[in-house]
Amino acid sequence: MMLLKGGDIIDPSGGLSGVADILINEEGFIENIGQDIETDEEDALIIDVSGLKVMPGLVDMHVHLREPGYEYKENIDTGLKAAAAGGFTTIVCMPNTSPVVDTRSTVRFIKERAGAAGLGNLYVAGAASKGLEGRDMAEIGDMVAEGIVAVTDDGKSIADASLMRRVLEYIKMFDIPFMVHAESPELAGAGVMHEGLVATTIGMPGIPAQAESVIVARDIELAELTGSRVHITHLSTESSLDYVRRAKAKGLKVTCDVTPHHLTMTDDAVMGFDTNTKVNPPLRPQRHVDAVIKGLQEGVIDAIASDHAPHAVHEKESSYIEAPFGMIGLETSLAVLITRLVRTGILTLEQLVAKLTIGPADVLGLDAGRLEVGAPADITVVDPDVMWTIDPNIFYSLGRNCPYAGWEVGGKVKYTIAGGKIIAKNGVVE
């Protein structure tokens, strides 16, 4: 038994808020939530969390754990540790590993490795096309039988609209969403950053915002044609958001997420050629940042996901053009978002927590993101007032490609509890 005493509860799923105690049973589920709960159990662990924010365990629906195949960048164990340290009890990993997650046995391998780590819940997104090659449909049904929660060719779009249509139709029988990485390969070309004033200033090949929004528009049209669930992941442009807004107004099953970096950084950060700012979709000018912030405030955006994408130091220590796309996020997301969105008054803490818990859980239909009696005891306890300086060198993630190095941020995870077990305390994995 574990009893969290006197915490300030924030549970956007049920609108629960205010000071209460939470009792967790031996099976790892929430036994009781209420005032002045006592336990007469001898060896119950009683933790005083007064003055701290108690929220559902955070959910990150878009991470890259690099295993199998790229264990030098990250692996399932280090990725789950990074998640635990960052307050995430549920994460969803993308299929662009080597081999690609396009068969049942790869899904099973990942789930077994995660089970052995015992650090929160890892769900798998399977490839939509075999080998992520965009030619033939992967054995989606077989992977669903092994527990995948979405399909995606993340890293690219399915260029062939006809294959995209067939995949969307097919996944209806499993009621899972397609997570769309929206990028027209032709329009993106050899671009490495947003096409705009900064790219022109420093002479870098650009990716126009429309490389994203033309695919968003196409796939929303196909969502209408097929009636399937389409989730636009790491949405980053004003126009993409407009398409999603209209689709939702029409009643289509379209959802989207946005990353912390597209909410907090602009393409100005690329000016000094820091390869840690190289990410796909690229950092955008302020106009797009303002648009996605507005989308969050209006509720058009369902979730915030890190797109945690670790790379080895030597891979990022190259020219901007050569360096791989991607930045890590699991250990910084919450603090960066609290600092830049909550402390500035853009969102309430409750609104932010919604996008990190029930929002993504609902998109994927996961049993996560709620504090209620009978739910799994996945709980994150946060002190929103603690200030700290981001230092990637001490991360659990093997990746050091963090664009926030040196940022002063507020908000520290005190406890990460998954399945009734403390998996991280004060940022230290248990």
Partner 1 sequence: MSATTGEYIKTTPAIKDRSVEAGTEKSRGGDHIMDKDLIRIRTLDKEDIVRILDQAESFYEILDRPIRKVPALRGKIVVNLFFEPSTRTRTSFELAAKTLSADVVNIATKVSSAVKGESIKDTALTLKSLGANIIIVRHSHPGVPELISKQGDFKVINAGDGWGEHPTQSLLDLFTIRRKMGSLKDLHVTIMGDITHSRVARSNIYALTKMGAHVHIVAPPTLVPACLEKLGVKVHYHIEEVMEYTDILYLLRIQMERLEQSFFPSLREYAQFFGVNAKRLEQFSKEVMVMHPGPINRGVEISHDVADGMDTYIEEQVRNGVVVRMAILYLISREGAGRHDVA
Question: Among all residues, which ones are annotated catalytic?
Answer: 307
**Residue 160 engages partner 1 in binding (rule: CB under 8 A):** no
Give me the 206-225 binding string for partner 1, x by CB under 8 A, dash otherwise: x-x-----------------
Query: Reduced to 3 states, what is the DSSP secondary structure of residue 408?
Result: strand
Between 196 and 420, whose beta carbon lies closer to partner 1?
196
User: Are the beta carbons of 417 and 89 closer than 8 angstroms?
Assistant: yes
**Which of 155, 316, 161, 179 lies closest to 256, judged by CA?**
179
**Minimal distance in Å, beta carbon 390 to partner 1?**
21
CA–centroid distance for 329 within its chain: 9
Binding segment toward partner 1, per CB under 8 A, in 63-71, 147-155, 204-212, 333-341: 204-212
**Minimal distance in Å, beta carbon 195 to partner 1?**
5
Between 81 and 288, whose beta carbon lies closer to partner 1?
288
Residue 316 is given by DSSP the state: H
**Minimal distance in Å, beta carbon 208 to partner 1?**
8
CB contact set of 126 (below 8 Å; sequence gap of 6+)? 95, 101, 102, 107, 138, 140, 143, 144, 148, 150, 151, 152
CB contact set of 364 (below 8 Å; sequence gap of 6+)? 61, 92, 123, 149, 150, 176, 177
Name residue 145's amino acid: A
Phi, psi of 331 (to 5 degrees): -90, 0
Tell me which residues in 286-345 interact with partner 1 (CB under 8 A). 314, 317-322
Number of residues lying near partner 1 (CB under 8 A): 21
Binding segment toward partner 1, per CB under 8 A, in 118-126, 199-207, 301-309, 414-422: 199-207
Structure tokens at 380: 């994150």
Among 50, 200, 297, 426, binds partner 1 (CB under 8 A): 200
Among 50, 98, 201, 286, binds partner 1 (CB under 8 A): 201
User: Are the beta carbons of 283 and 353 closer than 8 angstroms?
Assistant: no
**Minimal distance in Å, beta carbon 261 to partner 1?**
20
Between 315 and 383, whose beta carbon lies closer to partner 1?
315
Binding segment toward partner 1, per CB under 8 A, in 75-83, 193-201, 331-339, 357-365: 193-201
Q: Residue 387: in which H helix or E strand, if any?
A: strand 379-389
**Minimal distance in Å, beta carbon 315 to partner 1?**
10
**Which of 36, 32, 80, 40 lies closest to 60, judged by CA?**
80
**Minimal distance in Å, beta carbon 276 to partner 1?**
13
**Minimal distance in Å, beta carbon 211 to partner 1?**
13
Structure tokens at 35: 């005032």
Tell me which residues in 261-280 interact with partner 1 (CB under 8 A). 272-273
**Residue 203 engages partner 1 in binding (rule: CB under 8 A):** yes
**Start-to-end CA span in the chain (Å):** 18
Binding segment toward partner 1, per CB under 8 A, in 61-69, 198-206, 217-225, 300-308: 198-206
Among 191, 196, 376, 399, binds partner 1 (CB under 8 A): 196
CB contact set of 74 (below 8 Å; sequence gap of 6+)? 64, 65, 66, 67, 82, 310, 397, 398, 399
Question: Cα(30)–Cα(4) distance, rounded to whole angstroms?
Answer: 11
Between 202 and 387, whose beta carbon lies closer to partner 1?
202
Between 69 and 205, whose beta carbon lies closer to partner 1?
205
Between 66 and 316, whose beta carbon lies closer to partner 1?
316
**Which of 205, 181, 186 lies closest to 195, judged by CA?**
205
Question: Cα(176)–Cα(171) distance, rounded to whole angstroms?
Answer: 6
Structure tokens at 424: 């991280």
**Minimal distance in Å, beta carbon 196 to partner 1?**
5
Q: Residue 9: in which H helix or E strand, if any?
A: strand 2-11
Among 145, 173, 202, 428, binds partner 1 (CB under 8 A): 202
**Which of 165, 191, 291 lies closest to 238, judged by CA?**
291
Question: Beta strands 408-418 and 421-425: pairing type?
Answer: antiparallel
**Residue 374 engages partner 1 in binding (rule: CB under 8 A):** no
Between 142 and 268, whose beta carbon lies closer to partner 1?
268
Structure tokens at 393: 């060198």
Between 214 and 418, whose beta carbon lies closer to partner 1?
214
Q: At what angle do helices 161-171 and 210-226 cross, to 10 degrees?
A: 50
Residues in contact with partner 1 by the rule CB under 8 A: 195-197, 199-206, 208, 272-273, 314, 317-322
